[in-house]
Amino acid sequence: MRKKATLCWSCRPADGMADFIKDARGRRIDYARISVTDRCNLRCVYCMPGDGVPYIAHDDILRYEEIMFLCAVLSGMGVRKIRFTGGEPLVRKGLMAFLADFRKSFPDIAVSLTTNASLLERYADPLAQIGLSGINISLDTLDPEKFRHITRVGNVEDVTRGVASAIAAGMTNIKTNTVLMRGFNDGELPSLLSYAWENRITPRLIEFMPLGDDVWQSGMFMGADEILAGLTELYGEWRLVGPEHSAAAFPRGPAKYYEDPQNRIVGIISAVSSHFCSDCNRLRVTASGRMRSCLFSRAETPLLELLRNGDEDGTKQAILLGINAKPDWWERERDGTLRMSNIGG
């Protein structure tokens, strides 16, 4: 029988819980990425097989009230930033109402969304009204044919219209995330960066992560040093600056930000070459409520039943156990059969 959740969503617990949690290696965990759906309207070649992934049964997906309960527990444990992701979060029905509720319930938590932006035109106004702390838009290419190739089914015009609508609606903390792949989009760097800068967006360049052995090719990989050298060749010297120079609403994150002589900012995320494991502050929860403390590891902590039962103590204990199993270094745990679609971005 389902127990009633008793946690007050808008207040901190007075049960002696520490203001924040540290894992067994002393890393402060204050950032959660929660996948609200396993479904997506695109099929990016590095993320999903062409015919998609078998959908998780409706009943096995976290309901919004369960996600809210999870957020309340995480907030009580010191999590200060929550990013909703997917699959594609904007395909889940009811997301606007959920985010509006979330914003009211957790005014102190930075809330952001990662999206492919292909449905953003429809949701830009409500999202702007909700007042997200930031929105990350995945954009690997502006070339319509390449976009169709990398996403298998998408139209880049949907994304650019979505971005324009977000800006027109008054959203400001916008970042683009570009996975740089040699031979695919490295030659497009100037146009991707100009597009971002002209729209007052912070562009971020991401190393291609070796998640699925069937799609990742070392020849396509471009490390942060090489990316920075390419940027220097194009624009002159870059100066390392703090995250406050970016659209980052929450200053702790894996990106390093650089400024060029014309005060333009770019972020580089070196998830592979100079991994940030020693400083990693995040945990992930999949759409079916499996918590993962490391993107590259198969280790998971099931939370769905605990959340469904409104079991606050059980959920906290499970989260703590999962966090303490966080590996010290991603390569030790790497499982080459995983793709982002198995995990939730």
Q: Enumerate binding residues for ligand SAM (CB under 6 A).
A: 40, 46-47, 85-86, 88, 114-116, 138, 177, 179, 206, 208-209, 211, 340, 345
Binding region for ligand SF4 (CB under 6 A) out of 84-92, 214-222, 297-305, 325-333: 84-92
Task: Tell me the closest approach of the beta carbon of residue 135 to ligand SF4, in angstroms.
Answer: 14
Length of the chain: 345
Tell which one of 44, 193, 205, 211 touches ligand SF4 (CB under 6 A).
44
32 binds, among ligand SF4, ligand SAM, none (CB under 5 to 8 A by kind): none
Q: Which is nearer to ligand SF4, 43 or 308 (CB)?
A: 43
30 binds, among ligand SF4, ligand SAM, none (CB under 5 to 8 A by kind): none
Q: Which is nearer to ligand SAM, 88 or 121 (CB)?
A: 88
Task: Tell me the closest approach of the beta carbon of residue 41 to ligand SAM, in angstroms.
Answer: 9
Q: Name the packing angle between helices 224-235 and 189-198 (round to 10°).
A: 70
Q: Which is nearer to ligand SAM, 162 or 243 (CB)?
A: 162
Q: Are 67 and 9 in contact (CB under 8 A)?
A: no
Alpha carbons within 13 angstroms on the beta-carbon side of residue 56 total 22
291 binds, among ligand SF4, ligand SAM, none (CB under 5 to 8 A by kind): none
Q: What are phi and psi of 282, to 5 degrees?
A: -115, 160
Alpha carbons within 13 angstroms on the beta-carbon side of residue 126 total 14
In the region spanning residues 304 to 343, those forming contacts with ligand SF4, defined by CB under 6 A, are: 340-341
Q: Which is nearer to ligand SF4, 53 or 96 (CB)?
A: 53
Binding region for ligand SF4 (CB under 6 A) out of 39-47, 95-103, 208-216, 263-271: 39-47
Q: Which is nearer to ligand SAM, 99 or 340 (CB)?
A: 340
Task: Tell me the closest approach of the beta carbon of residue 280 to ligand SF4, in angstroms.
Answer: 21
Task: Tell me the closest approach of the beta carbon of residue 46 to ligand SAM, in angstroms.
Answer: 5
280 binds, among ligand SAM, ligand SF4, none (CB under 5 to 8 A by kind): none
CA-to-CA distance for 135 and 140, rounded, in angstroms? 16
CA-to-CA distance for 278 and 137, rounded, in angstroms? 26
Tell which one of 42, 110, 113, 120 touches ligand SF4 (CB under 6 A).
42
Task: Tell me the closest approach of the beta carbon of residue 50 to ligand SAM, in angstroms.
Answer: 15
In the region spanning residues 86 to 105, those forming contacts with ligand SF4, defined by CB under 6 A, are: 86-88
Q: Does 139 bind ligand SF4 (CB under 6 A)?
A: no
Number of CB atoms found within 10 A of residue 3's CB: 10
Q: Which residues of 107-146 are buried (b: 16+ CB within 10 A; e: fewer)?
A: eebbbbbbbbbbbbbebbbebbebebbbbbbbbbbbbeee
48 binds, among ligand SF4, ligand SAM, none (CB under 5 to 8 A by kind): ligand SF4
Binding site for ligand SF4 (CB under 6 A): 40, 42-44, 47-48, 86-88, 116, 138, 340-341, 345
